[in-house]
Amino acid sequence: MSNDSYVTDDGRTIGPTVMEMKNITLRFGGVKAITDISFDIREGEIRAIIGPNGAGKSSMLNVISGFYVPQEGEVWYKGKKRPPMKPYQVAQQGIARTFQNIALFEGMTVLDNVMTGRLRQMKANMLEQAIWKGKAEKEEVENREVVEKIIDFLEIQAIRKTPVGRLPYGLKKRVELARALAAEPSILLLDEPMAGMNVEEKEDMSRFILDMNDEFGTTIALIEHDMGVVMDLSDRVVVMDYGKKIGDGTPDEVRNNQDVIDAYLGVAHD
Amino acid sequence: MSLVTIRKDWENFKKKLTKRMKTAPLEVEESLTRFWLAPAGLREEENLAQSSQATGGLTSIPALLQRNAAQFADRDAYREKEFGIWQTWTWAMTEKEIEALALGLINLGVKEGDFVAIIGRNRPYFYWSMVAAQSVGAVPVPVYQDSAAEEMEYILGHCGAKYAIVEDQEQVDKIIEIQDKLHTFEHMVYIDPRGLRKYDHRQLHEFSHIQAQGRAAHDELIGELKSRREKLDYDSTCVMLYTSGTTGKPKGVVLSNRNVIESSKNSAVFDALTGDEEILSYLPMAWVGDFIFSVGQAYWCGFCVNCPESADTMMTDLREIGPTYYFAPPRIFETSLTNVMIRMEDSGDLKYALFHHFMDFAKTAGEKYGMPKRSLAKPDMKRRIKNGWRYAMGLGFAIETLVENGIRMAFTKLRHGSKAREHFKAKDPILLNLYRGNLRDYFKYRMGNVLVYGPLKDTLGFGRVRVGYTAGEAIGPEIFEFYRSLGINLKQLYGQTEATVFITAQPDGEVRADTVGVPSPDVEIKIDDNGEIHYRSPGTFVEYYNNPESTASTKDAEGWVATGDAGFFEEKSGHLRIIDRAKDVGKMADGSMFAPKYVENKLKFYPDILEAVLFGNGKDRCVAFINIDLTAVGNWAERNNIAYASYQELAGHPKVLDSIQEHVEAVNRSVADDPMLAGCQVHRFLVLHKELDADDGEMTRTRKVRRVIVADKFKDLVDGLYDGSTSVSTTTEVTYEDGRKGSISATLELRDAKVVPVASKMAAE
- Separation between Cα atoms, residue B389 and residue B402, nearest integer Å: 20
Contact A11 B84 (CB under 8 A): no
Alpha-carbon distances of B710 from B582, B688, B707, rounded to whole Å: 19, 11, 5
Mutation for testing the B interface, residue in A7, A152, A154 having most B CBs under 10 Å: A152
Contact B198 A11 (CB under 8 A): yes
How high is the mean pLDDT of chain B? 84
**Using a CB-CB distance cutoff of 8 angstroms, which residues of chain B are in contact with residue A211?**
194-195
Contact B82 A10 (CB under 8 A): no
- B497 in Cβ contact with B284 (< 8 Å): no
Q: How many CB atoms lie within 10 A of CB B306?
A: 25
Domains, in order of start, for chain B: 3-53 (no CATH), 61-255 (3.40.50.12780), 343-376+378-461 (no CATH), 477-581 (2.30.38.10), 586-764 (3.30.300.30)
Per-residue pLDDT tens over the stretch B311-348: 888 888 999 999 999 998 888 888 888 888 888 888 88
Per-residue pLDDT tens over the stretch B478-530: 888 899 999 899 999 898 888 888 999 998 888 888 888 899 888 999 888 87
pLDDT surpassing 60 at residue A110:
yes
Contact A158 B198 (CB under 8 A): no
Distance of CA A145 to the CA centre of its chain: 23
Separation in Å, CA of A84 to nearest CA in chain B: 38
- Separation between Cα atoms, residue A149 and residue A216, nearest integer Å: 12
Alpha-carbon distances of A124 from A114, A148, B436, rounded to whole Å: 18, 20, 63
Contact B83 A148 (CB under 8 A): yes
A11 touches B at CB < 8 Å: yes
Minimum CA–CA partner of A151 in chain B: B83
pLDDT of residue B27: 43
pLDDT of residue B19: 55
pLDDT of residue B40: 37
Q: Which helix (H) or strand (E) segment is B721 a member of? A: helix B715-723
Q: Which helix (H) or strand (E) segment is B115 a member of? A: strand B115-119
Q: Which helix (H) or strand (E) segment is B40 a member of? A: helix B40-50
**Using a CB-CB distance cutoff of 8 angstroms, which residues of chain A are in contact with residue B198?**
10-12, 214
A83 touches B at CB < 8 Å: no
Whether ipTM > 0.85 holds is: no
- Separation between Cα atoms, residue B27 and residue B47, nearest integer Å: 16
How high is the mean pLDDT of chain A? 86
Contact residues for B498 (Cβ-Cβ < 8 A; gap 6+): B243, B253, B540, B541, B554, B555, B561
Q: What percent of chain B has pLDDT over 70?
A: 90
pLDDT surpassing 80 at residue B145:
yes
**Using a CB-CB distance cutoff of 8 angstroms, which residues of chain B are in contact with residue A151?**
83-84
For the ranges B105-119, B174-188, B374-388, B667-681, the lowest mean pLDDT is seen at B374-388
- B297 in Cβ contact with B260 (< 8 Å): no
For the ranges A232-246, B541-555, B732-746, the lowest mean pLDDT is seen at B732-746
- Residue count (chain B): 765
Closest to B524 measured CA to CA, from B497, B561, B496: B561
- Estimate the crossing angle of helix B437-448 against helix B381-416, to 10 degrees: 80
Average pLDDT over residues B27-44: 39
Residue ranges with strand state E in B344-443 = none
Separation in Å, CA of B198 to nearest CA in chain A: 7
Dihedral of alpha carbons B439, B443, B446, B451, sign: negative
Per-residue pLDDT tens over the stretch B417-429: 888 888 888 888 8
**Residue with the larger pLDDT of the pair B570 and B108:** B108
pLDDT of residue B377: 67
A157 touches B at CB < 8 Å: yes
Instruction: Output DSSP code: residue B308.
Output: -
pLDDT surpassing 90 at residue B238:
yes
Residue-by-residue DSSP string for B432-443: GGG--HHHHHHH
pLDDT of residue B45: 39
- Separation between Cα atoms, residue B452 and residue B405, nearest integer Å: 14
Q: Which helix (H) or strand (E) segment is B289 a member of? A: helix B288-290
Collapsing DSSP states into helix, strand and coil, what is residue B46?
helix
Q: How many CB atoms lie within 10 A of CB B673?
A: 9
**Using a CB-CB distance cutoff of 8 angstroms, which residues of chain A are in contact with residue B316?**
158, 161
Q: How many CB atoms lie within 10 A of CB A83?
A: 9
Interface of B with A in 306-335 (CB under 8 A): 309-310, 312-313, 316
pLDDT surpassing 90 at residue A78:
no
- B466 in Cβ contact with B322 (< 8 Å): no
**Residue with the larger pLDDT of the pair B348 and B8:** B348
Contact A160 B84 (CB under 8 A): yes
Collapsing DSSP states into helix, strand and coil, what is residue B288?
helix
- B427 in Cβ contact with B358 (< 8 Å): no
Contact A148 B84 (CB under 8 A): yes
Interface of A with B in 44-73 (CB under 8 A): none
- B329 in Cβ contact with B288 (< 8 Å): no
Contact B312 A158 (CB under 8 A): yes
pLDDT surpassing 90 at residue B729:
no
Contact B82 A160 (CB under 8 A): no
Contact A211 B195 (CB under 8 A): yes
A9 touches B at CB < 8 Å: no
For the ranges A89-98, B234-243, B693-702, the lowest mean pLDDT is seen at B693-702
Alpha-carbon distances of B273 from A46, B17, B267, B356, B376, rounded to whole Å: 56, 12, 8, 34, 8
pLDDT of residue B278: 92
A200 touches B at CB < 8 Å: no
| HEC sequence for B620-670 | CCEEEEEEECHHHHHHHHHHCCCCCCCHHHHHCCHHHHHHHHHHHHHHHHH
- Separation between Cα atoms, residue A193 and residue B656, nearest integer Å: 37
Kind of pairing, strands B139-143 and B115-119? Answer: parallel
Domains, in order of start, for chain A: 1-94+187-265 (3.40.50.300), 106-184 (no CATH)
For the ranges A165-174, B377-386, B438-447, the lowest mean pLDDT is seen at B377-386
- B350 in Cβ contact with B410 (< 8 Å): no
Contact B316 A144 (CB under 8 A): no
Separation in Å, CA of B310 to nearest CA in chain A: 7
- B305 in Cβ contact with B407 (< 8 Å): no
Contact B312 A145 (CB under 8 A): no
pLDDT band at B15 (very low <50, low <70, confident <90, very high): low
What letter represents residue B199's amino acid? Answer: Y
**Using a CB-CB distance cutoff of 8 angstroms, which residues of chain A are in contact with residue B83?**
145, 148-149, 151-152
- Estimate the crossing angle of helix A199-216 against helix A135-153, to 10 degrees: 120
A252 touches B at CB < 8 Å: no
Beta bridge partner(s), residue A173: none
For the whole model, what pTM was predicted? 0.81
Separation in Å, CA of A93 to nearest CA in chain B: 28
Contact B83 A149 (CB under 8 A): yes
Per-residue pLDDT tens over the stretch B271-297: 888 888 999 999 999 989 999 999 999
- In total, the C-beta contacts within 8 angstroms joining chain A to chain B are 35
pLDDT of residue B17: 54
Separation in Å, CA of B163 to nearest CA in chain A: 27
Q: What percent of chain B has pLDDT over 90?
A: 32
